[in-house]
């Protein structure tokens, strides 16, 4: 496969994942704004921070309220990570790697892009936001389904998976990074209503509220939330899950080519670290330090992959 | 149906008689509801959008990708008509190849005086770098598109030869796919010859021209100028259908004296490059120094026989519009036969008498730039205003050798579907020809372009033309 194609596939998947993550953030923010109006401003601020776009948001003169924040995350021209921009980037990459995709996969992405950008041509009325988000979810699910159902399980698929999980790990890490302080054990107001909002935000942003409930019943403790998002390999947005996928897909390519692979080694080390640490170790290290260093390593892994597989000249 | 006495209507000429090739189709059409067909036509458009069969328009920034309008009424060619066409096209393509070989070797045709030397030697499409070089199999035009127009029952003319990088074959294939999906019942009634094996044949004929010493299954790649090129969709489509890589200049490097592409596991040599990049941009060392679309040193490797380029650089001299006017002589010179397909009469404005005639009859003629394509820079006399004619006359006088003129042809019509039923529109036809050492292959069908505006004779997609599926009937 051409290096350029590998890069295009990986970025196509990253942008697809990103657009879904952005939609999920909007959903979380909207939910909180509707149910707890008092803290809405703070919540939008942390959601924009999770999208790694605070500076740009403030610089553009937006205010932390539902209208501005939703428009910014969904479609603003000045936000390169908006749902619209991310889908456009995903589709452009898909066009670049058209020959590596099946017709089903390409058509699904093309239709997803056409449908969503069309629906986002004008600003979205607040009452329309829920149905719009469900449109995005549905379209992205169709794309994933078309890829699952039609792509050969070869390096094409491997690069798509790696892109998806690099981006997802980054997203989960950012959710944790922005809110880490409410998960620290020494924070005293456990059980207060403020805390519940914060925890709910974290779980919702990671689409983990229901699954957490399933596994932990009604009992919520910050350590369990942190542990769930970092270590629980059953949870498809946890770091452990993402890194198991990345390692598996890198490993498969390394086995096929029977050559030494720096990035495989690196990903495996990161996965092993996740497997051998406990949440108490993480608190020992410092939750924030742990997250910050993982974010850095995730980015280093991405550039290592880029170099190893010759994405660029 | 509207009657148009002056033009040959391929479905139903003059009276109520439906021509034989269209008989079954017409019968079916009569029983169809126009509303349903219009809905189908909208469906077809959706299909094209989903598939992303679009072209990019140069200079249009708002709508970067556009659809070429597709008309759901097929253009139908009978088996005997096709037989005649293919004989003529094959003869012509063989002559074009022989001409190119000769022009870049002994130049017999120039010595004989049949074609004037200055027309070739001073022509920008002539590449002196190609002199003395013989491509594998002595094939220059691996892929050719011969534009054919019709003016009557037996009157077919070649309007243009395209032997640089003819485009449009993806539309031939996708139009058929779309028709099969929308009107399967028609294909059960009418036996239409397949076009779908074109990509396989393309791959086979490219592979057959691989340099000596290539692997048993030569590595073929398609070289595209990139995602912003107007025909990018087609490049990706063909690469995909051939199972070849789609590469750009920056994916290529010279490694151990071979052209190689950067893969995830290092550089892999390429045997045959189906290049959709113009000669000028192929190699900054040999041609335009500012080109970033090609590969520095590519031409040297080509000359050394380390890689095959299709079509051969310099092939463009054969489809130059001034050279076109000599095609009847060229065909005779190399095949010893009379041309089966006629040229459109052409005035070479470089010649004083011809120039005078053209200037006097501008309002009746079509004037084209010798190197122009895509319908740009041409004057359609009958459709032009007086001031447009006057402005064009000035350009003509300033640089006569840059122009040729042809009579306005009474292009045949085929009906298109409109809200009011069928309405005749002018068409042309581009069959696609593959040339390999084993022989010439012409895919039964081609691209029918149709001028969608009533009365318009310009079929180019860049000028608002559309396309139709082209059916060649089984014997």
Specify the pLDDT at position B284.
92
Q: What is the dihedral of CA A157, A163, A166, A172, to 10 degrees?
A: -100
Mean predicted confidence (pLDDT) in B302-317: 96
Mean predicted confidence (pLDDT) in A60-87: 92
Question: A22-32 burial by CB neighbour count: b if 16+ within 10 A, else e?
Answer: bbbbbbbbbbb
- B263/A310 CB distance under 8 A: yes
Split at pLDDT 50, 70, 90, the class of B180 is very high
The minimum CA-CA distance between A131 and chain B, rounded to whole Å, is 23
- B261/A2 CB distance under 8 A: yes
Query: What digits encode the pLDDT tens for the residues B196-231?
Result: 999 999 999 999 999 988 888 999 999 999 988 888
| Nearest-10 crossing angle of helices A239-257, A222-231 | 10
Closest-CA residue to A171 (of A88, A56, A294): A294
Partners of residue B265 in chain A, C-beta under 8 Å? 257, 259
Mean predicted confidence (pLDDT) in A65-84: 92
Specify the pLDDT at position B54.
76
Cα B337 to Cα B87: distance, rounded to the nearest angstrom: 12
Determine which of A98, A160, A264 to mutate to test the interface with B (most B C-beta atoms within 10 Å).
Answer: A98
Q: Is A198 left (phi over 0), alpha (psi -120 to 50) or beta?
A: alpha
Cα B293 to Cα B276: distance, rounded to the nearest angstrom: 10
Mean predicted confidence (pLDDT) in B446-455: 92
Query: What digits encode the pLDDT tens for the residues B369-391?
Result: 887 665 667 888 888 899 999 99
Specify the pLDDT at position B5.
56
Question: B188-216 burial by CB neighbour count: b if 16+ within 10 A, else e?
Answer: eebebeebeebbeebbbbbbbbbbeebee
A127 inside 8 A of chain B by CB: no
Specify the pLDDT at position A181.
79
Split at pLDDT 50, 70, 90, the class of A206 is confident
* Chain B interface with A: residues with Cβ < 8 Å: 49-52, 227, 232, 236-237, 239-240, 244-248, 250-251, 261-266
What is the percent of chain A with per-residue pLDDT over 70, rounded to a whole number?
95
Split at pLDDT 50, 70, 90, the class of B1 is very low
Q: Exposed/middle/buried for A223, CB within 10 Å: 0-12, 13-18, 19+?
A: middle
Specify the pLDDT at position A193.
56
Q: What is the mean pLDDT of chain B?
A: 92
Mean predicted confidence (pLDDT) in A11-23: 96
Considering only the beta carbons, identify the residue of A96, A99, A313 that sits closest to B239.
Answer: A99
In chain B, domain spans: 20-344+409-472, 345-408
Two structure tokens written together for B89: 């096209």
- B264/A309 CB distance under 8 A: yes
Contact between residue B248 and residue A4 where contact means Cβ atoms under 8 Å apart: yes
Helical H runs in chain A? 3-35, 40-50, 54-59, 66-74, 83-96, 103-119, 129-150, 155-179, 193-205, 209-216, 222-231, 239-257, 262-276, 279-285, 287-308
What is the percent of chain B with per-residue pLDDT over 90, rounded to a whole number?
77
Cα–Cα distances in angstroms (integers) from residue A272 to residues A269, A275, A278, B81, in the given order: 5, 5, 12, 72
Q: Exposed/middle/buried for B318, CB within 10 Å: 0-12, 13-18, 19+?
A: buried
Query: What digits encode the pLDDT tens for the residues A94-123?
Result: 999 999 999 999 999 999 999 999 999 988
pLDDT beyond 70 at B3: no
Two structure tokens written together for B397: 């006088």
Cα–Cα distances in angstroms (integers) from residue B48 to residues A19, B171, B429, in the given order: 25, 10, 21
Closest-CA residue to A185 (of A256, A261, A283, A253): A283
Considering only the beta carbons, identify the residue of A3, A99, A257 that sits closest to B236.
Answer: A99
Closest-CA residue to B326 (of B353, B348, B359, B311): B348
Split at pLDDT 50, 70, 90, the class of B2 is very low
Cα B56 to Cα A208: distance, rounded to the nearest angstrom: 43
Q: What is the mean pLDDT of chain A?
A: 90
Please report, in angstroms and rounded to a whole number, the separation of the first and last CA atoms in chain A. 15
Element containing residue B253 per DSSP (H, E):
strand B252-255
pLDDT beyond 60 at B325: yes
Query: What digits encode the pLDDT tens for the residues B61-85?
Result: 444 677 889 999 999 999 999 999 9
Max CA separation in chain A (angstroms): 58
Closest-CA residue to B421 (of B42, B46, B37): B37
A103 inside 8 A of chain B by CB: yes
Specify the pLDDT at position A313.
80
What is the percent of chain B with per-residue pLDDT over 70, rounded to a whole number?
95
CATH number of B345-408: 3.30.1490.270
Mean predicted confidence (pLDDT) in B427-443: 96
Query: What digits encode the pLDDT tens for the residues B27-51?
Result: 999 999 999 999 999 999 888 888 8
pLDDT beyond 60 at B59: no
Cα A142 to Cα A115: distance, rounded to the nearest angstrom: 12
Partners of residue A111 in chain B, C-beta under 8 Å? 50
Element containing residue B119 per DSSP (H, E):
helix B117-121
Query: What digits encode the pLDDT tens for the residues B233-262?
Result: 999 999 999 999 999 999 999 999 999 999
Cα A137 to Cα A142: distance, rounded to the nearest angstrom: 9
Query: What digits encode the pLDDT tens for the residues B260-270?
Result: 999 999 999 99
**Which ipTM was obtained for this model?**
0.85
Residue owning tokens 């991405």: A302
Residue owning tokens 């790697």: A97
Query: What digits encode the pLDDT tens for the residues B102-161?
Result: 999 999 999 999 999 989 998 889 999 999 999 999 999 999 999 999 999 999 999 999
pLDDT beyond 80 at A8: yes
The minimum CA-CA distance between A105 and chain B, rounded to whole Å, is 10
Split at pLDDT 50, 70, 90, the class of A270 is very high
Mean predicted confidence (pLDDT) in B395-418: 92
Specify the pLDDT at position B233.
92
Element containing residue B309 per DSSP (H, E):
strand B308-310
Determine which of B46, B265, B292 to mutate to test the interface with A (most A C-beta atoms within 10 Å).
Answer: B265
**B279: which DSSP letter?**
G
Contact between residue B206 and residue B274 where contact means Cβ atoms under 8 Å apart: yes
Query: Which chain A residue is nearest to residue B241, measuring alpha carbons?
Result: A99
Residue owning tokens 């553009």: A60
Helix, strand, coil proportions of chain B in percent (round to 5)? 35, 25, 40
pLDDT beyond 70 at A192: no
SS3 of residue B434 by DSSP: strand
Contact between residue A75 and residue A123 where contact means Cβ atoms under 8 Å apart: yes
Mean predicted confidence (pLDDT) in A142-149: 96
Specify the pLDDT at position B335.
96
Cα B345 to Cα B362: distance, rounded to the nearest angstrom: 15
Contact between residue B147 and residue B158 where contact means Cβ atoms under 8 Å apart: yes
Split at pLDDT 50, 70, 90, the class of A222 is confident
Specify the pLDDT at position B63.
47
């Amino acid at each position: 496969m051409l290096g350029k194609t590998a890069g295009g596939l990986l970025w196509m998947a990253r942008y697809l994942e990103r657009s879904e993550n952005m939609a999920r953030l909007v959903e979380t923010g909207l939910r909180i704004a509707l149910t707890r109006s008092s803290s809405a401003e703070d919540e939008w601020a942390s959601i924009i921070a999770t999208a790694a776009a605070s500076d740009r948001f403030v610089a553009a003169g937006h205010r932390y309220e539902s209208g501005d924040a939703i428009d910014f995350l969904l479609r603003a021209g000045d936000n390169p990570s908006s749902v619209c921009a991310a889908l456009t980037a995903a589709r452009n990459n898909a066009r670049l790697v058209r020959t590596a995709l099946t017709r089903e996969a390409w058509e699904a992405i093309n239709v997803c892009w056409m449908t969503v950008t069309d629906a986002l041509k004008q600003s979205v009325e607040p009452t329309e936001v829920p149905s719009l988000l469900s449109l995005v979810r549905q379209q992205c699910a169709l794309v994933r389904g078309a890829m699952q159902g039609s792509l050969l399980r070869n390096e094409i698929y491997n690069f798509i998976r790696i892109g998806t999980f690099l981006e997802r790990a980054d997203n989960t890490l950012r959710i944790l990074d922005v809110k880490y302080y409410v998960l620290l054990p020494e924070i005293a107001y456990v059980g207060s209503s403020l805390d519940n909002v914060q925890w709910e935000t974290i779980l919702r942003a990671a689409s983990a509220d229901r699954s957490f409930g399933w596994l932990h019943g009604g009992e919520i403790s910050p350590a369990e939330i942190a542990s769930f998002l970092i270590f629980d390999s059953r949870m498809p947005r946890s770091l452990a899950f993402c890194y198991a996928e990345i390692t598996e897909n890198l490993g498969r390519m390394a086995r096929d080519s029977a050559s030494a692979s720096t990035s495989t080694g690196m990903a495996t080390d990161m996965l092993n670290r996740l497997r051998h640490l406990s949440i108490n170790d993480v608190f020992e290290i410092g939750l924030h330090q742990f997250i910050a260093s993982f974010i850095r390593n995730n980015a280093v892994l991405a550039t290592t992959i880029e170099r190893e597989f010759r994405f660029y000249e | 149906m509207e009657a148009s006495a002056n033009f040959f209507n391929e479905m139903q000429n003059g009276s109520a008689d439906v021509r034989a090739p269209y008989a079954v189709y017409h019968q079916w059409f009569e029983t169809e509801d126009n509303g349903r067909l219009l809905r189908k036509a909208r469906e077809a458009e959706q299909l094209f959008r989903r598939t992303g069969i679009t072209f990019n328009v140069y200079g249009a920034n708002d709508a970067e990708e556009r659809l070429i309008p597709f008309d759901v009424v097929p253009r139908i060619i009978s088996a005997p008509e096709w037989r005649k066409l293919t004989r003529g096209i094959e003869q012509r393509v063989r002559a074009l190849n022989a001409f190119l070989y000769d022009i870049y070797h002994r130049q017999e045709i120039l010595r004989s005086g049949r074609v004037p030397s200055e027309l070739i030697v001073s022509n920008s499409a002539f590449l002196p770098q190609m002199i003395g070089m013989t491509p594998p199999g002595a094939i220059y035009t691996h892929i050719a598109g011969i534009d054919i127009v019709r003016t009557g029952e037996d009157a077919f003319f070649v309007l243009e030869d395209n032997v640089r990088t003819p485009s449009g074959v993806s539309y031939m294939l996708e139009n058929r796919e779309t028709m099969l999906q929308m009107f399967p019942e028609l294909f059960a009634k009418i036996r239409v010859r397949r076009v779908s094996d074109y990509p396989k044949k393309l791959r086979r004929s490219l592979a057959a021209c691989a340099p000596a010493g290539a692997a048993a299954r030569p590595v073929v790649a398609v070289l595209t100028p990139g995602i912003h090129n107007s025909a990018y969709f087609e490049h990706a489509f063909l690469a995909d259908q051939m199972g070849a890589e789609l590469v750009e200049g920056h994916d290529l490097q010279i490694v151990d004296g071979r052209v190689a592409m950067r893969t995830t596991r290092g550089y892999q040599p390429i045997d045959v490059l189906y290049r959709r990049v113009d000669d000028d941009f192929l190699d900054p060392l040999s041609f335009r120094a500012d080109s970033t679309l090609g590969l520095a040193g590519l031409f040297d490797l080509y000359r050394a026989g380390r890689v095959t380029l299709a079509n051969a650089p310099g092939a463009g001299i054969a489809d130059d519009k001034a050279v076109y006017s000599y095609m009847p002589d060229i065909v005779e010179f190399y095949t010893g036969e009379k041309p089966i397909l006629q040229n459109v009469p052409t005035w070479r404005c470089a010649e004083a008498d011809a120039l005078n005639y053209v200037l006097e009859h501008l309002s009746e003629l079509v004037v084209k730039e010798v190197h122009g394509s895509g319908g740009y820079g041409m004057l359609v006399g009958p459709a032009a205003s007086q001031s447009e004619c006057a402005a064009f006359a000035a350009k003509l006088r300033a640089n006569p050798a840059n122009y040729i003129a042809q009579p306005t042809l009474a292009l045949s019509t085929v009906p298109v579907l409109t809200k009011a039923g069928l309405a005749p529109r002018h068409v042309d036809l581009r069959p696609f020809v593959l040339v390999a050492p084993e022989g010439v292959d012409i895919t039964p069908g081609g691209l029918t372009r149709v001028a969608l505006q009533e009365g318009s004779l310009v079929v180019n997609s860049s000028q608002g033309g559309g396309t139709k599926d082209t059916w060649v009937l089984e014997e």
